[in-house]
């Protein structure tokens, strides 16, 4: 994404698109953050990753301090998700296997001033998405540890109509785009989960990493901070799994640490579109631990984070 123009209009030839000041981009991001918490809407969007497409209906209602949301996949395997204030309430379909608990997380508002430390922000012009006028905001990373974003924001509501996730070569990794958008409030019926949507138990987040989370990273990409952490029992292995989530105000990744207790495990690295998953076996005085890093970050970044995890427990260091 760096060093290249993100938006090119092809109307009988190449027309350059003027870039506006970062302050204009900041205003649009502030408007987006407010709209997500205050504006209700419903519609249909397409999601593309690694050449695979899926279509989804979404209902989103902002009512006071409560934001309720329901997503329903319309093609392929039947999948459904409901959320309240960012916390998953139930899932169905292919999401169910392996999903027994979900960390209690709350949405974090965009902070343009913070993001400007790690991304170059600009307004790159206008577009039209789902029949609506949109403003294009680009976010180009200042280093190789994160991806770039191209956001198409609805000119009327400030909501996101389309987003592109791009690597440092400008290659598309992920696309989100509305095909139908209606800025009206969905009904209770629209937001009600079907009988096939299975409740997900919530795990309270532990914000103090010096508490139950006895792990830290010797290296993190600049700007990434601990957003929340939790400890839970894995229902299959019965082991205690520690999890930590980090973000830079936009991008996120999670680190999972599970004692192997003599079990066999091999290192692995996988990239699916923008999502990297890296697992590394780590030896500690208390036994081997499998460290897994998952997030929408370059795989090299995930690899370095996995190798940097260290125990904080004084007894583990003896």
Does residue 244 surpass a pLDDT of 60?
A: yes
pLDDT, position 263: 85
Which of the four pLDDT bands, split at 50, 70 and 90, describes residue 15?
A: very low
Which of the four pLDDT bands, split at 50, 70 and 90, describes residue 184?
A: very high
The mean per-residue pLDDT over the stretch 184-202 comes to: 91
The mean per-residue pLDDT over the stretch 139-148 comes to: 96
From CA 154, how far away is CA 161, in angstroms rounded?
Answer: 6
Poorest-pLDDT segment among 8-17, 57-66, 108-117? 8-17
Write down the pTM of the prediction: 0.81
Which phi and psi (to 5°) does residue 38 adopt?
-120, -20
Q: Which domains does the chain have, with CATH numbers?
A: 9-191 (2.50.20.10), 204-317 (3.30.200.100)
From CA 149, how far away is CA 158, in angstroms rounded?
Answer: 16
pLDDT, position 119: 97
Which phi and psi (to 5°) does residue 223 adopt?
95, -20
Does residue 233 surpass a pLDDT of 80?
A: no
How far are the Cα atoms of 162, 222, 247 from residue 250, in angstroms, in the given order?
16, 13, 6
pLDDT in tens, 89-113: 999 975 433 333 344 444 556 889 8
Poorest-pLDDT segment among 14-18, 198-202, 233-237? 14-18
Give the Cα-Cα-Cα angle 4, 269, 118 (nearest 5 degrees).
35
Give the Cα-Cα-Cα angle 238, 228, 168 (nearest 5 degrees).
105
From CA 80, how far away is CA 102, in angstroms rounded?
Answer: 15
Does residue 175 surpass a pLDDT of 90?
A: yes
The mean per-residue pLDDT over the stretch 12-40 comes to: 72
pLDDT, position 239: 76
% of the chain surpassing 90 pLDDT: 65
pLDDT, position 298: 96
């Amino acid at each position: 994404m760096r060093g290249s123009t993100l938006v090119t209009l092809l109307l009988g030839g190449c027309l350059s698109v003027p870039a506006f000041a970062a302050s204009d981009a900041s205003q649009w991001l502030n408007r987006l953050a407010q709209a997500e918490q205050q504006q209700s809407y419903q519609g249909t969007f397409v999601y593309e990753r690694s050449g695979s497409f899926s279509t989804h209906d979404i209902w989103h209602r902002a009512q006071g301090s409560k934001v309720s949301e329901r997503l329903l996949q319309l093609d392929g395997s039947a999948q459904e998700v409901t959320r309240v204030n960012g916390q998953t309430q139930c899932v169905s379909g292919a999401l169910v296997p392996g999903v027994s608990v979900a960390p209690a997380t709350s949405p974090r508002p965009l902070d343009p001033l913070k993001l400007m430390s790690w991304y170059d922000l600009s307004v790159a012009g206008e577009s039209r998405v789902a029949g609506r006028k949109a403003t294009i905001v680009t976010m180009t990373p200042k280093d190789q540890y994160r991806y770039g974003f191209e956001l198409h924001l609805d000119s009327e509501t400030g909501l996101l109509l389309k987003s592109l996730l791009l690597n440092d070569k400008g290659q598309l990794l992920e696309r989100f785009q509305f095909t139908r958008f209606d800025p009206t409030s969905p009904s209770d019926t629209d937001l009600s989960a079907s009988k096939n949507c299975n409740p997900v138990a919530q795990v309270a987040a532990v914000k103090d990493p010096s508490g139950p989370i006895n792990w830290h990273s010797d290296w993190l990409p600049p700007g990434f901070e601990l957003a929340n952490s939790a400890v839970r029992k894995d229902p299959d292995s019965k082991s205690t799994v520690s999890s930590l989530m980090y973000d830079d105000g936009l991008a996120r990744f999670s680190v999972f640490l599970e004692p192997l207790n003599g079990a066999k495990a091999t290192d692995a690295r996988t990239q699916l579109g923008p999502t990297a998953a890296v697992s590394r076996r780590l030896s500690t005085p208390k036994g081997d631990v499998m460290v897994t890093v998952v997030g929408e970050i370059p795989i090299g970044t995930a690899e370095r984070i996995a190798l940097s995890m260290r125990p904080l427990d004084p007894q583990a260091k003896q």
